[in-house]
Chain A
Amino acid sequence: MDKRRINGPEISVKPIEKKITQTNSNDNEIRKNNRSIENIRPIFIKPNVIKKANGSAYYEAENIKVICGVYGPRSSKRSMVSDEGNIYCEFKFAPFSCNKRCGYIRNAQEREYSLIIQQAFLPAIRLNLYPKSTIDIYITVLENDGTTACLAAAITCASIALTDAGIQMYDLVAAASATCIKGNICLDPDASEEENDTNSKFMLSYMPSLKQITHVLCTGKMEAEQSIEAINTCIDACNSIKTVMDHCLINSL
């Protein structure tokens, strides 16, 4: 032993570690952003943002920004006689919203999303009260961070805008998205998680009070039981999104 130096103690003690729960450390390995698997990005919704529109809403969840305007009920352009109203939806990514610039003319994906949003609202709106009329929903995505999450955001946002326009509905429609990373269902995926195309993507829109699914969209390989699990996870997420929507609507009164 070297006497000229100050020696450390001969017995050593284990360093005191900060206790980290097992689930958290697992979550961090699955997701690169600091979210746990069932954590959705915080949502901000504000109704009545476009003065000219009958109803409108703005939705923001970190890097997802969606604005929606609802016009109507107004008389249908087509002179077809119908005892039920119809919904027209236009979903558009702003040219600067995505990684790649998208043109002004709607591409096939945007047209498909328009159809999906229309189908998601058909069971919710009391169309029998609006004969011969059309309700127009215009949605613009200002910033895209995960296409599936954007679609879900668009539906949630349109739901608030429709309420703001005073359109009679059976229930609010909330939507949630999920992805399957290494066998784990992760809610609200962002762009980086979506890029990897081995992850399957999942979107579900749901009427929380009536307990009815209004739309479901899923791409990617999944076991049957896993997709059922994803449905249930999304339903839970929709229920929590509903509380945010309720809160926002009450505040706006």
Chain B
Amino acid sequence: MNLISPSEKDFITKGIESDLRNDGRTRIAYRDFIIETGIVSQASGSCRLRLSKTDVLIGVKVEIGDIVSNTTSDNNNEQEQDIVNSQSENDKGRIVCSVECSPSASRDFEGRGANDINNELSQIMNRVLNGPQGGIDLKSLCIIPGAQCWVIYVDVLVLDYDGNLLDTIFLATRAALQNTRIPKVEIQDIGNGQLEFEISDDIEDAEKIKGWEDVPVTVTLNKIGQKYIIDATAMEELCTDTKIIIAVNKSGEICAMQKSLYGSLNPSLLTEMIRTAKDIGKVLIKNIDTTLEHEQVMASRANNKKFGFFI
């Protein structure tokens, strides 16, 4: 475990009290990030995002999977209800997220401690992205209703760590999903209601994921003393007793909210945090979208080359 001395903690807390942080930022200032998409050739979409020293690599793979209905029951009374359910569930694809914190990134990710962190982060991602709040049109991932669908696997690898991991992951996920292309599928009817599909090999035919624009980003607010900050560094995270994670989408709607760590907070402070998160989330999405647009313009130029891992 990373440790912090009481005097360091006091210094950071007092600084935040007077709206000045160790790296010269104010309480609600974000660090700059570097982003690069499409750097893993084997993946359907990929992105590497660095926020100061926090470094994540995301690979998205799309694969064909079976549709699993959420509700199966043998109870006669509920059969009718089940049919209604299965109809609504049968035409949806799904997203599977998993986070892997590399033990080389931080001492916190060693041994069993990593399992808890990985599980918590993966669960938050799965909860936010699967469902209407995730933005992605799950119905468009369906190939044959009741049988086959596209499954989007989002695998996150944390390479380096300097605080604010979850925000970084969500920013990178948005970029990676923007970068993802799904191969085109042609469905043929081979008689007596049987359907067959063929996957096109042509890369030019591949389509973007529908609804990536509405994928939310998270804003993590760390309560230090009686104030809160966003985008905390690893040192500042050690001074934090309560963390509030709020997912916000492009139009400023709240998509998820969760508390973490061991502290508690006042209802009025939480209200204030929600309003701040809403404003910051909207700005963040705008920033990342302009960065991605800029990258696409650069990519369309003739002498485009990827920097990859060497910057």
Q: In the complex, are the beta carbons of A220 and B132 less than 8 A apart? A: yes
CA A195 – CA B88 in complex, angstroms?
Answer: 11
Min CB distance B96 to A, Å, is 11
Q: A100-B73, A231-B267, A231-B271 are in contact. Are A216 and B254 (CB under 8 A)?
A: no
8 Å CB contact of B133 from A124, A200, A212, A223 = A200
Q: Is A20 on the interface with B (CB-CB < 8 A)?
A: no
Q: Is B122 on the interface with A (CB-CB < 8 A)?
A: yes
- Interfacial chain A residues near B264, Cβ < 8 Å: 123-124, 207, 210, 212-214
Q: Is A99 on the interface with B (CB-CB < 8 A)?
A: yes
A interface size (C-beta, 8 A): 37
- Interfacial chain A residues near B116, Cβ < 8 Å: 115
Q: Is A184 on the interface with B (CB-CB < 8 A)?
A: no
Q: Is A135 on the interface with B (CB-CB < 8 A)?
A: no
Q: In the complex, are the beta carbons of A221 and B132 less than 8 A apart? A: yes
8 Å CB contact of B257 from A123, A211, A216, A223 = A216
Q: A212-B264, A212-B265 are in contact. Are A119 and B259 (CB under 8 A)?
A: yes
Query: What is the chain B residue whose CB lies nearest that of A192?
Result: B81
- Interfacial chain A residues near B256, Cβ < 8 Å: 218-220
CA A226 – CA B275 in complex, angstroms?
Answer: 11
Q: In the complex, are the beta carbons of B267 and A213 less than 8 A apart? A: yes
- Interfacial chain A residues near B72, Cβ < 8 Å: 99-100
Q: In the complex, are the beta carbons of B261 and A119 less than 8 A apart? A: yes
Q: A112-B119, A213-B266, A214-B264 are in contact. Are A220 and B131 (CB under 8 A)?
A: yes
Chain A, residues 120-132, CB within 8 Å of chain B (1/0): the string is 0011100000000
Q: Is A232 on the interface with B (CB-CB < 8 A)?
A: yes
Q: A100-B71, A227-B257 are in contact. Are A112 and B120 (CB under 8 A)?
A: yes
Q: Is B6 on the interface with A (CB-CB < 8 A)?
A: no
- Interfacial chain B residues near A211, Cβ < 8 Å: 266-267
- Interfacial chain B residues near A214, Cβ < 8 Å: 259, 264
- Interfacial chain A residues near B262, Cβ < 8 Å: 119, 122-123
Q: Is A250 on the interface with B (CB-CB < 8 A)?
A: no
CA A124 – CA B120 in complex, angstroms?
Answer: 22
Q: A213-B267, A215-B259, A232-B267 are in contact. Are A223 and B254 (CB under 8 A)?
A: yes
Q: Is B147 on the interface with A (CB-CB < 8 A)?
A: no
Min CB distance B54 to A, Å, is 22
CA A100 – CA B275 in complex, angstroms?
Answer: 39
Residue with the highest number of chain B CB atoms closer than 10 Å, among A115, A211, A218: A218
Chain B, residues 60-79, CB within 8 Å of chain A (1/0): the string is 00000000001111000010
Q: Which of A172-222 contact B (CB under 8 A)?
A: 195, 197-198, 200, 207, 210-222
Q: In the complex, are the beta carbons of B270 and A111 less than 8 A apart? A: no
Min CB distance B237 to A, Å, is 15
Min CB distance A189 to B, Å, is 15
- Interfacial chain B residues near A122, Cβ < 8 Å: 261-263
Q: Is A224 on the interface with B (CB-CB < 8 A)?
A: yes
- Interfacial chain B residues near A123, Cβ < 8 Å: 262-264
- Interfacial chain A residues near B275, Cβ < 8 Å: 224
Residue with the highest number of chain A CB atoms closer than 10 Å, among B133, B266, B275, B278: B133
- Interfacial chain B residues near A49, Cβ < 8 Å: none
Q: Is A235 on the interface with B (CB-CB < 8 A)?
A: yes
- Interfacial chain A residues near B122, Cβ < 8 Å: 108
Min CB distance A159 to B, Å, is 14
Q: In the complex, are the beta carbons of B278 and A224 less than 8 A apart? A: yes
22 residue pairs A–B, Cβ–Cβ below 8 Å: A99-B71, A109-B123, A112-B120, A115-B119, A119-B260, A119-B261, A122-B261, A123-B264, A197-B132, A211-B266, A214-B264, A219-B127, A219-B256, A220-B131, A220-B133, A221-B132, A221-B255, A223-B253, A224-B254, A227-B257, A231-B271, A232-B267
B interface residues with partner A (beta carbon < 8 Å)? 70-73, 78, 85, 116, 119-120, 122-123, 127-128, 131-133, 244, 249, 252-267, 270-271, 274-275, 278
Given contacts A108-B122, A200-B133, 15 further A-B contacts (CB under 8 A): A99-B71, A100-B73, A112-B123, A115-B120, A119-B259, A119-B260, A195-B71, A218-B256, A218-B258, A220-B132, A220-B256, A221-B254, A226-B254, A228-B274, A231-B267
A interface residues with partner B (beta carbon < 8 Å)? 99-100, 108-109, 111-112, 115, 119, 122-124, 195, 197-198, 200, 207, 210-224, 226-228, 231-232, 235
